[in-house]
A and B are shown apart, each in its own frame.
Chain A
Amino acid sequence: RKEVEQDPGPFNVPEGATVAFNCTYSNSASQSFFWYRQDCRKEPKLLMSVYSSGNEDGRFTAQLNRASQYISLLIRDSKLSDSATYLCVVKTSYDKVIFGPGTSLSVIP
């Protein structure tokens, strides 16, 4: 089993739609969790951290379920500019950072 797995995608959604991405991780000792965004031919950039209590940043909501080892990202009111690959990232002990394979999102006019 891979350490971090994500929905395979791609997701093609119309503008204004709500879309959710799922991610699971295998190491129960994982300490912290993130969603990164990667635009085509660019480097990954932090979108948001994922806290145990869940957190929201504008149209983006992240949830963490430690018991199920599951992370989610919800995007409301999708914009064309949201088109990118979304990478689930898990940090274990010793600052080891593991990326999931990514889920591609295309928002269509």
Chain B
Amino acid sequence: EAGVAQSPRYKIIEKRQSVAFWCNPISGHATLYWYQQILGQGPKLLIQFQNNGVVDDSQLPKDRFSAERLKGVDSTLKIQPAKLEDSAVYLCASRMKRKSSYNEQFFGPGTRLTVL
């Protein structure tokens, strides 16, 4: 089974520039998550999709961050304009919708963003 795919793996930009990340979840996984992980911290949920609808975006800085999952499959996360404090690893995860609440989240390899 193919895993969660993310691209690019690494990105270096200057502050005030824009950047976009792409995620393709595991086939059939209805729930998709974007996390921000700053060095030395645990992943922080930015946005959660159920199919193409947003379930939770309470921690997404909406003045500069946006995300979409138009067809309920792959997703993009955009930052415009970037700030120095956005330097982090952006992780995408997906999860199958099942009755059991114990079904596992699967993570992609992440995109490491450096803002100079």
Select which of A42, A43, A100 is within 8 A of B42 by beta carbon.
Answer: A100
Query: From residue B78, how far is it (CB to closest CB) to chain A in Å?
Result: 21
* Chain B residues whose C-beta falls within 8 Å of the C-beta of A100 in the assembled complex: 42
Q: Which of B1-46 contact A (CB under 8 A)?
A: 31, 33, 35, 41-45
Q: Is the CB of B104 within 8 A of A46?
A: yes
Q: Which of A83-109 contact B (CB under 8 A)?
A: 87, 91, 94-102
Interface presence of A69 (CB below 8 A): no
Q: Is the CB of B55 within 8 A of A102?
A: no
Select which of B45, B50, B97, B108 is within 8 A of A97 by beta carbon.
Answer: B45
State the CA gap A102–B108 with chains docked (Å).
19
- For chain B, which range describes its interface: under 10, 10 to 19, 20 to 34, or 35 or more residues? 20 to 34
Q: Is the CB of A99 within 8 A of B43?
A: yes
State the CA gap A4–B44 with chains docked (Å).
11
Residues A102 and B56 in contact in the complex (CB < 8 Å), given A43-B91, A43-B110, A49-B102: no
* Chain A residues whose C-beta falls within 8 Å of the C-beta of B102 in the assembled complex: 32, 34, 49, 51
* Chain B residues whose C-beta falls within 8 Å of the C-beta of A43 in the assembled complex: 91, 107-110
Q: Is the CB of A96 within 8 A of B42?
A: no
Q: Is the CB of B41 within 8 A of A96?
A: no
* Chain A residues whose C-beta falls within 8 Å of the C-beta of B75 in the assembled complex: none
* Chain A residues whose C-beta falls within 8 Å of the C-beta of B95 in the assembled complex: 95, 97
State the CA gap A85–B31 with chains docked (Å).
25
Q: Which of A37-76 contact B (CB under 8 A)?
A: 42-46, 49, 51
Residues A95 and B50 in contact in the complex (CB < 8 Å), given A31-B101, A87-B42: yes
State the CA gap A46–B93 with chains docked (Å).
12
7 A-B residue pairings within 8 Å (CB atoms):
A31-B101, A43-B91, A43-B109, A96-B48, A97-B33, A99-B43, A101-B41
- Which 5 pairs from chain A and chain B are nearest by CB? A43-B107, A99-B42, A32-B101, A101-B42, A99-B43
